[in-house]
Structures are given as structure tokens and as C-alpha cells.
Structure 1
């Protein structure tokens, strides 16, 4: 006889107990990061108080801090994400008219686990379900740019005001940009094979997932997302550490300050060809703000990196014509520029 081993599923009590212990250990370790970074630099052969020591302390402190914050945020949002799926999102948006549909699509973009890599199947799925083009764009703008990782890390690293500012204006850009694209009626600029695709039935996930399954989904999210982005995080922290230690505050204020009218469009142009994600770019944002860069310029830079990256445009080229991609970039970039100029005007 052949025996089959069925993997044991942890009980809700085991999960809750493990989560409580893990959270307690997380907070205990988090409180020691700052003292440890100072101790580590003090025992290194570097001049105390110098640029190198400052950069190393920033790197030693921020690396575990950001990775720890990312882990707890991804786990929590992984549980939330278990209530959504591409099929369920598609069903919610199908039949929604522009206006209300743009608002619903942008709001769903915050909580759904989709990035630019998911652009092609999502776009095809939405079009096949009858979702208007403008509503689809509102979702595709919001999903990578206003994701929960960005908001969680912004809140933890640079404060709730910046996080709420990013949320409010990111949603505004997604809603208004999608509505504007929808008003242009550019469905004819989709690739022919996308226009010819037939509507398919929407299959929903079961609604009776147990909490154990949701906890496991959160842990799977940690393994998948943190496993994919940790090297981008370290690269971003390294850039932030260099800025923190070696870039003079006065120089950065002149380049990215509110008084330099050209800083916002320059930040957008620099951000578009870059490839990063929210977790990788936020340490750079933290360092820029700490050096006195203008809030509007920094937000414009971050939004362009996440929402208008060149690799995303390459992926979208499979479903959109060059003309439609150009319209997409122009509309979204205009919204990002407006955010940058407005905040530099209000907070200069």
C-alpha cells in the first residue's frame, strides 16, 4: 500500500499565537536598530562625524528598518489581498460607467496585488469584460503607483502627512487621467488583437476562505514580494546613504528646491527611464527630504519612477499602440507635474 502524507494546516490559534510572538519580537528588535547602527559605526575604522561615517550609519540603520517595515506591511496587506482577485476585480469594474467607474477603479488599485508586470493580462481581461478604456487606465495607474507598500513605508519613514498627500494626489491623478483618456474615445488605438478579443465569463473565487488561508496568503506574499524586491531596497538605501552623507544640503536645495522652476519637470524626466518599485525608491525619497529637497519635486520624482517607468511602457506596447502610449504618458505626466508645482507653491 502506498501512503500519502497530507500536509497539516496550522490552526487559527497557532497562527494567532505565532503572530503575537512575532510582532513582540519585531518591536523589540526595531527599538535596537538606531543604537546598533551607532555602535557599529563607532567600532569601524572611519572618522567619526565624517561623510563616510554618516553614510554607513544611514545604511546600517535603514537596511533592516525598511526590510522589517516591508515584511509587516506586506503580511498585513497580504491578508487584505486575499479578499480580492483579478477575476473579482474585473467583475466589480465590469459595467461601471466612467466617472464613478474611475473612482472605483482607482480605489481598488490601492488594495490589489498588481504591478506593471501584470499590465497585459489585466488589460486584456478588463477589455474582454467590457470595462471602459478610461476606467481601465484609472486602475492601471493606481495599482502600481498607490500600492499599500508605498503608503505603509511612507507613513513609517517620512510621516503620515506625506503618506496622505501621496495617497490623495495619486488617487486624483489616477481618476482624472483615466477620465480624460476615456473622454478622448481612443479605443481604436488599441492593438487589433485586443479589440477583437471576445468577452469571457467572469469566474469568482470562493468567498468562504478561512482565516488560516488568509494568514497563509499573507505569509506567501512576504516570501514572494520581499524575496523579489530586497535587492532593489538595498540598492535604494545605498543611493540614499550616499545622498545623506556626501551631497551637501545647499546643493540639493538648489537643484530640487521649490525656487528652481525647472526642478519638477527635470525630476519627472529623470524618473521615467528609471526602473524601481515603491520599496526601492522610498529610501531615496527619505534621504532627499532629509537634505531639504522640496516636497513637490520629490513626490513628482517618486510618482514618475513608479507610475511612468520605461519598462512598463515596453510591457504596455503589447496591447497599446504607440500613439495611445504617448497619450497615456502625456496625461499622467501632466498630472504629476501639477502635483509637483502645486506642493512647491504651497509649502515653499
Structure 2
């Protein structure tokens, strides 16, 4: 429905020409802006209900004090794998996790895995590369999220969250405690929950628009084969170069699979091609702009550097195994 609305608005009402760079960029901007703002409001609303009716403090204490032997990262990564979100679309749920008191490393495990692995990409991988490559890709995406979340949790990065997020956490804890004391019925709580969700949307809308505008420009004006010349077929620096070339791009896993097929057909090693794909869908410049509302630049840099190193390692491993 959102895509139909974007097509109608851009091509029928605004009369941009389909297939042109400008038309495709504007269509991408309208579609992603509506989709992400809708997701942000819906998820904020759901998390508001969760915060009001579930003992978030107990969940937080459980996840941070019990020896779960990494299962919390596994379940977060697995949840990310079954949610069909791109890197920017994952951020509303990431905000909801943080606001709900979920440990930051667990939320990172979700944020890393969600854009990398989804059922559409897996189906396309099966058709293009067969079950062996698909299995390695899917398992590695989940493992990448688990390892990345666990590593980032060890750094204790909560201090690098933005003041806006810290205020949200404090406000959520105060409201939850007040509601528990008053035993306010759900119908009376709902207007305030909806108002808080709308406040979150208003707080990040500028970052959403800027981030998606950058992504739309990349989507409309950067040719798919633009970076292909920089990915060496056998050179040792091919994998790091693939990651560096992939980060500025912005696409979902399903959209980039045909590009990876072309890379492999032209002789680029499968690990190098997959590293490019993981960097493209798991890390992006628009994602960094959106994350600026919830993280300091230092935390964004740590997150991007950690995930990039893990992707480089995965690329070398793929090339060795395949």
C-alpha cells in the first residue's frame, strides 16, 4: 500500500517520469519516509504498552544478571533474521528496545542481523547460489549479530547514548512506576501512550528525512556497477575494499542479491561479493544519520568499526571456505 501511494504521488500527482534517476530517487524518498515514520510510531506505541504493563525492570535485571550463556544474543539475532527490515527500518525497533530497557548489546545483535538476513533474501539466494552458500550466508548473518552484540556489550557503551534517549529512559521509568501505583485502566493510559509515541516521532523526524534523502540520492544516482571496478578478483585488499565501497550504498538484501550475482559471474570471489552485500545492507550512511538521534558520533563510530571488522573477517572466511 505504501509503495502504491508513493507511485501515485510521485508519478501521477507530481508527474515525475518513471525510470528516470530523479523520479526513482523521489519515489524512494517518499516510500521510505512514510514507511519508517509509520514503523516508528507503531513500534513506539507497542513499546509504550509493554512498558506500562510488563515489569521492564525485572526483564532488564534478568538479562543483565543471569548467566544466559549468550542465548539473549541468539534470540535477538534470530528475531532480527525473521523481521524483513533494512538498516534504516530497523532503527525504530532499536529505539523501542532501548526505551524498554533491553541491554544495549542485545539491541545491537538485532540491529546487525535484521538487515542482513530475511526470508526474501534467503529465497533469492537459494535460486541464485544454491543451498550451501545460502546456509552459510544465513548462519553467518546470525552469528555476526550475536558476536557483534556480545562484543559491543563488553564495552559498556550506554554512556554514549544521546541525551534524548537518556531522557526517554528516565521518563519511561517514572511513568511506569506512577501507573503501577495508581492502577490506571488501559483505556485511560492509551491517550498518554499515543502522545508519547507521537513525541518520539517528532523528535527524530528531521533525522529520518535527512537520512532517507541521502539514501534516495544514492539509490537514484549511483549506478549499480559503480563500485565493481574497485573490487579486485584475487587481491588481498579486495574484501576490505568491498566493505568500504558498500558502506556508502543503501539497499535492502533483496535488492542487492542480483548485483552480487553479477559480481560473482564476473569473477569476483564469493566472500568479497558477500562482504560488499553485508556492508551495503548492514551499514549505510543514511543509517548513521538516523542513529545520530539516539547515539553520539563516538558510539556510531564504534558500532560501524566493529561490524565492519566482523564483515571483513567473514569475507576472508567465505573466500577460504568457498
Q: Tell me the TM-score range normalised by the shorter chain.
A: 0.5 to 0.7
Show the counterpart of 2:100.
129
Show the counterpart of 2:63.
96
Show the counterpart of 1:191.
162
Show the counterpart of 2:8.
none
SS in 2 for 1:274: coil
Show the counterpart of 1:323.
298
Superposed, 1:297-308 pairs within 5 Å as 297-308=272-283
1:269 aligned onto 2:244? yes
Show the counterpart of 2:232.
256
TM-score (normalizing by structure 2): 0.61
Deviation at 1:123, TM superposition (A): 2.6
Show the counterpart of 2:254.
279
For 2:117 and 2:72, the matched residues in 1 are separated by 17
SS in 2 for 1:117: coil
For 1:141 and 1:239, the matched residues in 2 are separated by 23
Deviation at 1:184, TM superposition (A): 0.4
- More helix as a share of residues: 2
Show the counterpart of 1:67.
none
* Alpha-carbon displacement from aligned partner over 1:197-241 (angstroms, at most 9, x marks no partner): 22477x9xxxxxxxxxxxxxxxxxxxxxxxxxxx9xx98xx947x
Show the counterpart of 1:174.
145
* Alpha-carbon displacement from aligned partner over 1:243-267 (angstroms, at most 9, x marks no partner): 9xxx9xxxx7x9532x310100000
Superposed, 1:1-348 pairs within 5 Å as 95-97=62-64, 99-197=70-168, 198-199=172-173, 239=224, 255-257=231-233, 259-347=234-322
For 1:162 and 1:265, the matched residues in 2 are separated by 21
TM-score (normalizing by structure 1): 0.57
Deviation at 1:144, TM superposition (A): 1.0
For 1:313 and 1:96, the matched residues in 2 are separated by 27
The 1:176/1:329 distance shift into structure 2, 3 A limit, reads same
Aligned length: 223
Do the aligned partners of 2:90 and 2:114 also contact (CA within 8 Å) in 1? no
For 1:108 and 1:327, the matched residues in 2 are separated by 23
Deviation at 1:113, TM superposition (A): 3.7
Do the aligned partners of 1:86 and 1:122 also contact (CA within 8 Å) in 2? no
The 1:266/1:342 distance shift into structure 2, 3 A limit, reads same
Deviation at 1:309, TM superposition (A): 1.1
For 1:120 and 1:139, the matched residues in 2 are separated by 10
For 2:111 and 2:50, the matched residues in 1 are separated by 12
For 1:89 and 1:181, the matched residues in 2 are separated by 25
The 1:129/1:314 distance shift into structure 2, 3 A limit, reads same
- Structure 2: state its 5+ residue gaps: 1-44, 177-185, 187-215
SS in 1 for 2:88: helix
* Alpha-carbon displacement from aligned partner over 1:322-344 (angstroms, at most 9, x marks no partner): 00000001110011000111122
